[in-house]
Structure 1
Amino acid sequence: MAIQWFPGHMNVTKKAIIDRIKDTDVVIEMLDARLPGSSSNPLLSQLTGHRARLKILNKQDLADPNRTDAWLAWYNAQPSTRALALDAGEKAPAQRLIQACRALAPNRGGMDKPLRVLICGIPNVGKSTLMNTLVGRKAAKTGDEAGVTRIEQRINLADDFYLFDTPGMLWPKIIVEKGGYHLAASGAVGRNAYDDEEVALELIESLKRSYAHLLADRYRLDDVDAIPTRHDELLLEDIGRKRGAMMSGGRVNMAKAAEIIINDFRSAALGRITLETPEEFAAWLARAKVLEAERRALKAERDGPRKGKQTRKDW
């Protein structure tokens, strides 16, 4: 089942971005370094147009460093775009952000033309923690659940550098099904929008291809070479059994096992993991666009005669 989550306050955020973007020089988009493609909001590109943008791959300390380098190269090759990786808890990220933004808008600066920057991102990507680090005090609420920040804030990082923060926002329809599961696994989606076991099985499917050794080490699984070809449900059962998630009669509590692996991924107890490469996500997105176009064409064909009949009746 595809995962979707767009509560009402996100529509308010969308309207706030539309209002703010008219006076914005650079857009910072914070991404989760463990799922850079899945955590990039396609709606943001529509709302911000051709504004220069800085992609921040946050939580790099939790991500696979080799894949982080690949994603940085991918984004830095795009026009009017720069990318850098950091940890939200980095002690002094302000100068790095300021320098990157000034490079993207060299004609802005000074009190008569202050640089105006908008920072956006999905829920639970670490934006509030970063904002608190930038100002050196607890100015924004933080939490490990999606949707904590609800109001816009302005922070002056320099006399001529204004940074506007917005609440976390997803997009109305997630068309990349794999991306939806990755978002849920990371904690970017509200708990009422997904089933733990379903997300855990998709997470295992992603992990076993590139990180079988981490699964074997964490859960003491036998025959690491066979893990990539094993059925996802059997692997989840093994994980539950190894971690004591058992019920009466020797049955594995699959819901508890799912919770264990999701929490281990989020906390990096499994190790440093990135769930997707640039090439993988590009392929998923291309395929999803084709399927979405086919779905819309079928819907238009199906709805067309009905709308036509309604129109003739109105006449």
Structure 2
Amino acid sequence: MEGSDFKRRSGRQKKKPNATPLVRLIRSSDFLLEIADARYPELSRNKRLEARIRLEGRRLVVVFNKADLISMSAVNRLQERYRDSFVVSSKTRQGFVDLRFFLKHIAPKREVTIGVIGFPNTGKSSVINILKGKHAAGTSPSAGFTKSMQKLRISPRVLIWDTPGIAPFGTNEILLAVLGAKNPEFLKDAEGVAMHIIQTLKIDSEGTLTKRYGIDESKEPNEILEAIALKTGALSKGGIPDTERAARTVINDWQKNKLVG
């Protein structure tokens, strides 16, 4: 009896855990589209998830969205470097002719299911809406708007799973904020994130800060943040610049694409 009890207990211990919803999504999809940010082609990809997709034997196609926020030369470099990917803009609809053609001919004689994944706020639902031709999945500029998986038909033979944005555990807070994957009100160090954005704009988009806030952007990031607080009326008692509030304004403007040169 004791031996049989041990075997039964051992059997229970060896039982495999149930697959997570994300793994079930991968297994129920014929292939997957990962929506990434064209401004950050490597940083905005979920490498852990990509590895799991390969482990499950599924095909992955990367779609770089927000191409309207980068130069045409940068678009060309993306297309040259990532030859099996697509570069699109859900705002201008750039690149969608090629993406539609690909999806239409991926399996012309049978129904296929495509899982759509990516960081929060990379534009997954907006991409799906354009592919379908009408608002099938709700869209919002706020990170994490898609709360649960939705299955949608975008053509007679193509079904798509739209998923909530998934960020790997432990992802750097600056990266999450810059990608729009974390809302400003939930940041622990909004000032640090804002100064990173300010420094990036000073280098890559000269004149943008002056145009948006009417400040002298030749100064250091912390001084610029104080100047923005003064210009936007973000003041504490005694007229002291509230750089915390100003930082959240800068981050919010960045995430809503208002800081474009």
For the aligned pair, the TM-score class normalised by the smaller chain equals 0.7 to 0.9
Name which of 29, 32, 38 aligns with 2:34: 29
Q: With structure 1 as the length reference, what TM-score do the two structures score?
A: 0.66
Please give the residue correspondences for 1:170-189 in structure 2 after superposition, counting only pairs within 5 Å: 170-174=167-171, 177=172, 180-189=173-182
Is 2:85 the counterpart of 1:82? yes
Q: Secondary structure at the match of 1:212?
A: coil
Please give the alpha-carbon distance, in whole angstroms, between the structure 2 residues aligned to 1:147 and 1:208: 29
Q: Over aligned residue pairs, what C-alpha RMSD do you find?
A: 2.9
Higher helix share: 1
Query: What is the total number of aligned residue pairs between the two structures?
Result: 240
Q: Secondary structure at the match of 2:34?
A: strand
Contact 1:264 1:270 in 2 (8 A): yes
Q: How far apart, in 2, do the equivalents of 1:130 and 1:249 lie?
A: 48
| Alpha carbons of structure 1 residues 207 and 115: separation in structure 2 relative to 1, 3 Å | same
Q: CA deviation at 1:258?
A: 0.9
Identity %: 28
- CA gap 1:131/1:89 in 2 versus in 1, 3 angstroms: farther
Q: Residue 33 of structure 2 aligns to a residue in which SS? A: strand
Superposition deviation, residue 41 in structure 1: 0.9
Describe the shift of the 1:245–1:122 C-alpha distance in structure 2 as closer, same or farther (beyond 3 A): same
Q: For 2:40, what is the secondary structure of its paired residue?
A: coil
What residue is the counterpart of 1:294 in the other structure? none
1:100-119 alignment runs, 5 A limit: 100-101=102-103, 105=106, 108-111=107-110, 114-119=111-116
Report what 1:152 is aligned to: 149
* Counterpart selection for 2:62 from 52, 55, 62: 55
Which whole-Å deviations, capped at 9, do the CAs of 1:172-205 have from their partners, x for residues lacking one? Answer: 232xx4xx41321343125434332221112112
- Which residue of 2 is the match for residue 99 of structure 1? 101
**Distance verdict in 2 for CA 1:181–1:261, change over 3 Å:** same
The answer for unaligned runs of 5 or more in structure 1 is 1-13, 273-315
In structure 2, do the counterparts of structure 1 residues 255 and 210 end up closer, same or farther at CA, with 3 Å as the change threshold? same
Q: Deviations over 1:66-113 (max 9, x none)?
A: 43433333222xxxx3222221573994x533323467x5xx4303xx
CA distance in 2, matches of 1:170, 1:136: 28
Match of 2:211 among 194, 202, 217: 217
1:247 paired to 2:236: yes
Change (3 A) 1:242 1:202: same
Query: Given that residues 149 and 167 in structure 1 are in contact (C-alpha distance below 8 angstroms), is that contact kept between their aligned partners in structure 2?
Result: yes
| Higher RCO (Cα < 8 Å, 6 or more apart) | 1
Unaligned runs of 5+ in 2: 1-18
Measured in 1, the distance between the counterparts of 2:238 and 2:28 equals 64
Q: Does the 8 Å CA contact 1:29/1:120 hold for their aligned counterparts?
A: yes
TM-score by length of 2: 0.77
CA distance in 2, matches of 1:102, 1:26: 14
- C-alpha change, 1:173 and 1:68, in structure 2 (3 Å) is farther
